[in-house]
Structure 1
Amino acid sequence: MSGENKTRVAAIGDLHISDTDKGKWTDFFADVSKNADILAICGDLTDTGDESEAYILVEELKACSIPVVGVLGNHDHEKSRHKLIRQVIQNHPNVHILDGESVVIGPVGFAGVKGFGGGFDNHMLSMFGEGAMKSFVQEAVEEALHLDRALARLDQEHNNIKKIALLHYSPIKETVKGEPEQIYPFLGSSRLAEPLLRRNVEVVFHGHAHVGVLEGNIAGKVKVFNVAKHVLKKVGYGRPYFLYEI
């Protein structure tokens, strides 16, 4: 870990690894390993949700010498092979893909879920009407519950540990601004924000909103960063990872 009791966490989302990416990420992972203690990846590890892309990512990750923790995204679910993708990637030593679970790396506790849509604040979709609509809202509710349970386990097992949450979907509207307002309900949900605030999470990383905003917060207390690769490049990060010291 870095000096002065600080842990450097590098965060990026939306890698979208494709079958043509062999060798393209080696320098990235080597550079991250020199400048951070832990790498967090916030979903859409693959581009089309095919396990062949996951195998390529595992090969690229051989250049990464630090622990990796991440969550899956909607692209990883595209072909309903997300369980296989998770298994393939976690076969790499020292990689943790979280789905309603938590893990402690050094002095930091990570909790992660994919999250889901549903909209924000006063414009959240309600569990009313057709069964399909209720199912959509229920998915967001369940993801928030899984997140809360993962954070609760960290609190129960590790008193006063610093907590970082990893999501793919956003818990706030602020970091998706720039995207068309019509698609906000598909970019995240405020239902995810409540457990983050109540469980005193220090920082949240998410992706998914490619033309969103880098930084926001929940009630002025929980920092939120949209670390989608596209956002980081837009604001000037040459090698697109965000570095946070905790």
Structure 2
Amino acid sequence: MEDNKQRSAVRIAAVGDIHVKETDQGKWVDYFRTVSAQADILLICGDLTDTGHLAEAEVLAAELKACTIPIVAVLGNHDYERDQQKNIKKMLESDKVHILDGQTIVLQGIGFAGVKGFGGGFDKYMLSMFGEPMIKSFVQEAVDDALRLDRALAHLDVDYTDDLPKIVVLHFSPIKETVVGEPPEIFPFLGCSRLVEPINRRQVLAAFHGHAHVGTLEGKTSAGVPVFNVAKPILQREGYEVPFYLYEVQPKAVPVTQEVEG
């Protein structure tokens, strides 16, 4: 257990869409060492692998050994490409690597809730549950992930009532602002406003996602919650020499690590 003394700010590094390939052996070692030297926790917001191949996950698992700080991640659509997402998750998870899929984890006085998310569009142009069964199934996927995110955040609210800082980790965007820059025609496949309702209602401190490689780095929900699109290509475009976004959070005095099933 942590003591009740005021703790210094926790530095959270965030990146998405690293798309690790089979040929990437040794490519990421210096990156993860640099992140470990500058941050306390690393978030990886989906698309950990390039084509969802287990060989790519094997390479990433080896590269992650260079990271000496805790890692919180979600899978992305690329990780689902070969229907090996469960095996990828199992291959990457360890005492240090936590891949969330409707679960939460508390690290260093901060609560993290994560889901992949899904498409569906934004605001008044959000796809509705109407029409063909295929459309209804598409919408249901987005509804289900929003509900799973809400349940995960509810766990944090129940177990930690003293204003625990809450961070949401996604792959798909919860708001339109951070996908602006992409062709408007594909906005419905880049995220969904259904994800924003639990973020606003559960008083989340900030949300991080990827997926939209030519979107916008920063935005806010209708309730003013900061949202960051930390897709690696965006960070590189914005001039980050080592592509990760650094965000500082003042933590609460709670157990260092506690994982909760969502």
Same fold by TM-score, threshold 0.5 exceeded? Answer: yes
Give the aligned residue type for 1:62. K
Partner residue in 2 for 1:13:
16
Which of 218, 235, 240 does residue 237 from structure 1 map onto? Answer: 240
Partner of 1:154: 156
Q: Tell me, what secondary structure is at the counterpart of 2:240?
A: coil
**Residue 89 of structure 2, aligned match among 80, 83, 86:** 86
Matched, 1:131 2:121: no
Contact 2:200 2:223 in 1 (8 A): no
Secondary structure at the counterpart of residue 193 of structure 1: helix
Note if 1:178 corresponds to 2:177: no
Counterpart amino acid of residue 109 in structure 1: G
- Structure 2 match to 1:228: 231
Do residues 96 (structure 1) and 98 (structure 2) align? Answer: yes
Tell me the CA shift for residue 221 of structure 1.
Answer: 1.9
- Give the 3-state SS of the residue equivalent to 1:236 in structure 2: coil
Stretches of structure 2 lacking an aligned partner (at least 5 in a row)? 1-5, 250-262
Cα distance in 2 between the residues matched to 1:179 and 1:4: 40
State how far apart, in whole Å, the 2-side matches of 1:219 and 1:184 are: 18
Aligned residue type for 1:125: L
| Alpha-carbon distance between aligned partners in 1 of 2:234 and 2:203, rounded to the nearest angstrom | 26
For residue 119 of structure 1, report the CA deviation from its aligned partner. 0.1
* 1:215 lines up with 2:218 in the alignment: yes
Please, which runs of 5 or more residues in structure 1 have no aligned partner? none
Aligned equivalent of 2:205, options 202, 206, 209: 202
- How much has 1:118 moved relative to structure 2? 0.1
Q: Which residue of 2 aligns with 1:55?
A: 58
The 5 Å alignment of 1:107-126 reads: 107-126=109-128
Higher relative contact order (CA 8 A, sep 6+): 2
With normalisation by structure 1, the TM-score equals 0.97
Indicate the RMSD between aligned Cα atoms, in angstroms.
0.9
CA distance in 1, matches of 2:58, 2:188: 32
> What code does the residue aligned with 2:231 have?
A
TM-score between both structures, scaled by the size of structure 2: 0.91
Q: Distance in 2 between matches of 1:219 and 1:134?
A: 26
Whichever residue aligns with residue 140 of structure 1, its letter is: A
Q: Which amino acid aligns with 1:6?
A: A
The alignment of Structure 1 onto Structure 2 pairs a total of residues equal to: 243
Aligned residue identity for 2:40: D
Task: Indicate the percent of aligned positions where both proteins have the same amino acid.
Answer: 60
Q: 1:93 deviation in Å?
A: 3.0
The aligned counterpart of 2:253 is none
Q: Report the alpha carbon displacement of residue 203 of structure 1 after superposing the two structures with TM.
A: 0.4
Q: 1:206-234: CA deviations, max 9, x gaps?
A: 00000000000002521000000000001
**Following the alignment from structure 1 to structure 2, what is the Cα–Cα distance between the partners of residues 182 and 153?**
36
1:73 Cα deviation after fit? 0.2
Which position in structure 1 is the counterpart of 2:74?
A: 71
Structure 1 residue 196: deviation in Å?
Answer: 0.2
Aligned to 1:42: 45
Aligned with 1:8: secondary structure? strand
2:190 to 178, 187, 190: 187
Secondary structure, aligned partner of 1:55: helix
Moved over 3 A (4+): none
